[in-house]
């Protein structure tokens, strides 16, 4: 029964709906007896198992309990920060990573994009925003007249978590000083935080992304726009229109700041 294509299609749509609800800030449903019974029942003919991690359905994580460090332009180059990071062992993520994903792009970019955490493609290459999500980001940037050579790309954490699970607060905290130093050196006119975890960590907020996006926030005096991560948009293409609105605001603000 579970190999029925119709059943598989319904299951996929249900997962998409749950991901969409999560993006809207819905994180709980009424705990009725019927719902409890439905959730507790295993699939016919198979033992119950936890869902596998996949783009767009990432496990939630709480933002750090402390605000991001103050931006201090004590470094002169991104290379100096990377050298200081070294073969980082400051948190448990180091044990399972392939490569540190530090960042890439223009050192003096007007736009700095912060993602959430490296996926398998990024871990393999050592570069942020690779694979299908990276290709989508390239198209998004091209739509506002930018390429990778004119932006700076990085993530909240520099190492891939095991099974692509969301990093824990202490892991985010371990990377925050380096991210703050990167931002201080690049000195962008606008920051785009892609994904709920990146947005919440930078803004020190527990608000869902649906309430944060669509308007600028101040990050140490820099305009910051939260929006959806490309990996999430691949699984939820209906939210591309909202993201396009955010990108247009970013394009306009960058032009105003030149």
Q: What is the DSSP string of 75-125?
A: -S-HHHHHHHH-S--SSGGGGG-SS----EE-TT-SEEEEES---HHHHHH
Residues 253, 172, single domain; the answer is: yes
pLDDT at 69 over 80: no
**Rounded mean pLDDT, 143-151:** 96
54, two tokens: 């996949």
Q: Report yes or no on 62 lying in a domain.
A: no
**Rounded mean pLDDT, 98-126:** 97
User: The pTM is what?
Assistant: 0.77
- What residue numbers bound the domain in which 112 lies? 78-257
Give the span between the Cα atoms of 149 and 155, in whole angstroms: 17
CATH number assigned to the domain comprising residue 179: 3.40.470.10
Q: Report yes or no on 123 lying in a domain.
A: yes
Read off the pLDDT band of 46 (50, 70, 90): very low
Classify residue 123 as left (phi > 0), alpha (psi -120 to 50) or beta: alpha
pLDDT in tens, 158-197: 999 998 899 999 999 999 999 999 999 999 999 999 999 9
Residues 100, 191, single domain; the answer is: yes
Residues 147, 219, single domain; the answer is: yes
């Amino acid at each position: 029964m579970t190999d029925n294509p119709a059943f598989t299609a319904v299951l996929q749509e249900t997962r998409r709906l749950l991901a969409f609800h999560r993006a809207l800030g819905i994180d709980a449903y009424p705990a009725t007896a019927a719902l409890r019974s439905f959730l507790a029942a295993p699939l016919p003919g198979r033992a119950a198992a936890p869902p596998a991690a996949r783009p767009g359905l990432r496990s939630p994580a709480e933002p750090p309990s402390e605000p991001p460090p103050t931006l201090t332009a004590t470094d002169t180059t991104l290379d100096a920060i990377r050298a200081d990071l070294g073969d980082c062992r400051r948190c448990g993520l180091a044990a399972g990573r392939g490569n540190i994903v530090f960042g890439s792009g223009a050192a003096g970019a007007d736009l700095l994009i912060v993602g959430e955490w490296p996926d398998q493609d990024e871990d393999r290459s050592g570069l942020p925003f690779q694979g299908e999500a990276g290709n989508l980001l390239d198209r998004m940037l091209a739509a506002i007249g930018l390429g990778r050579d004119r932006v700076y790309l990085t993530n909240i954490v520099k190492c891939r978590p095991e099974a692509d699970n969301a990093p824990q607060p202490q892991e985010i905290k371990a990377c925050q000083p380096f991210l703050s130093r990167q931002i201080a050196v690049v000195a962008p006119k606008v920051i785009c935080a892609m994904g709920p975890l990146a947005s919440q960590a930078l803004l020190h907020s527990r608000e869902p992304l649906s309430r944060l996006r669509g308007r600028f926030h101040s990050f140490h005096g820099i305009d910051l726009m939260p929006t959806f991560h490309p990996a999430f948009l691949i699984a939820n293409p209906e939210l591309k229109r909202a993201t396009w609105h955010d990108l247009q605001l970013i394009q306009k603000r960058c032009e105003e700041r030149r």
